[in-house]
Structures are given as C-alpha cells and as structure tokens.
Amino acid sequence: MRYLSILILSAASLLAADDPTQAPSQAKIDEIIQKFAANEAAFAKARENYTYRQTARIQALDNGGNVQGRWEEVSDIVFDTGGKRTEHVVRAPVSTLGNYIGLTPEDLKDLRSVQPFVLTSSNLPNYLVRYLGKEKLDEIDCYAFAVKPKKLEPGERYFSGIVWVDDRDLQVVKTYGRGVGIAKDQAFPKFETFRQQIDGQFWFPTYTIAEDTLHFKDKDQRIRQVVRYEDYKQFKSSVTITFDDPDKPAAPPKPAPTKPKP
C-alpha cells in the first residue's frame, strides 16, 4: 500500500472533472507538472536523510558483446560522526576501461546526478517539459513527458529524454534519455533509470542500465553500464549501517518500466 503525505497529491483530484477519454487541458498539464516537480523536491530533500550503497560498472564491449575493458566503483553514501553526509569508496578495482574509452569528469557527473535525474521545482525553469500522453508501464498508469534543457551552460550537465509520472502519486517512476551539455569530442550513452517505492511514500532510483554504441571521430565503441542503488536506510545515529556483499548477484527491480517505443 502506498501512503501519501500532504505533499504527495493525488492526480485523481486534479483530473476528476475531466473526460478520461480526452487529453487533459494545457492548464491541467501545467498543474500536473508543477505538482510532480514539488513532489520531486520533497523526495530530493527526503533522500538526503538516507544512506545507501551505489555500485557502478562500465564495460567496453566488442561487436560480439564480449567484455574488453571494465571500470567499477562501489561507494557507500553515509554520514560521519558529525552527521555530515559523505561518499565513501569501498571498492575500486584497477580499471582496464582506458584501453578502449576514456572516463571523463562529464561521465562521472552524469553517473552521480543526471542518471538518477530528479526534476525539482528549483530546476524546472531550466527545462522545457512537453506532455506526450498517457502510458501504462506494467500495472502503473503514467503521464509521459518529454524533457530537455532550455539552454546549455558551460560546466553544467543536463538530462534530455522522457520521464514517466505515476498518475496517482504524481511521482517520477522511470526516466529514459541521455546526459547533455557543452562537451567537445565526447559521446554519452542513452540510459534507463528505474525507481521503486522504498519507504511507502517516495519512489527512489534503484537501477540504471545503458547499452549503447558511442560514436567518436576515430571509432565507434559499444559500451554497457549498470548502476545499482541499494540498501536504502533512513539515517539514525543509534543505528549501525551494514551492507551486503557487493559481488553478490542481484536481479534488476521490477517496477513499472518497459522499453520506450521507438
């Protein structure tokens, strides 16, 4: 059962007066966007009080899908004794990815902030958001929105793609797109990020996957990337946080997501 706070408003109350066979009016669409952005802001604030483990793997593949080189990093997002949130790298094997593709600061920024994309009220003015229609992802009825940055600023990274918003909770349940910005001679993969309800209220990013061919000036390179966000726990000073073995295989989550239509 999903429990809603005051901030998490029901979409049904927004659209109850509308004919369900008709697309919502532009005024209703604008209201939905503002509401889900407010809910995203509440989620972003709540997530700051959670510890979790992030396991990221990037692999360079040959044309047959065989792994040629790899990079991996396992980090615990935790709190120090003073209550300050910090990232602690617990595992980082020697990378062999550099023999095939360089890992840039833009790639790392995408991994940490663009792939688990959160469209809050504060960054909403930086984006153009266009309503695409209703779509069912497994058993969840969603609004689909195309999202792209209005302007690219030097040194900044942005999300460009599609977000799916649960029509009941008005929260993002899945994103599909790529990181964009001002970056010369670089290429960035398309990715999907899936969310799940962790605390009965908010939808947390739990799994990102990308398998794409990057086109560079001198070559094409096939890559695979998987990021898992696991073991979310609300921070309490009296609780000792423990994590499972990072090498233990885990199946991807099963929220709503299906592959987007071409």
Q: Domain ranges in the chain?
A: 25-234
- pLDDT (mean) for 17-34: 80
Within 10 angstroms of residue 10's Cβ, the number of other Cβ atoms is 14
Contact call for residues 171 and 230 (beta carbons, < 8 A): no
CA gap 22, 98 in Å, rounded: 52
- Average per-residue pLDDT for the chain: 85
Residue length of the chain = 262
Contact call for residues 174 and 163 (beta carbons, < 8 A): yes
pLDDT of residue 259: 45
Strand order in the sheet with 50-61: 85-91, 67-79, 50-61, 220-234, 203-215, 191-197, 172-181, 157-166, 140-149, 127-137
CA gap 41, 45 in Å, rounded: 6
Contact call for residues 48 and 17 (beta carbons, < 8 A): no
Interval 201-229: pLDDT, tens: 999 999 999 999 999 988 999 999 999 99
pTM here?
0.80
pLDDT band at 243 (very low <50, low <70, confident <90, very high): very low
pLDDT band at 236 (very low <50, low <70, confident <90, very high): low
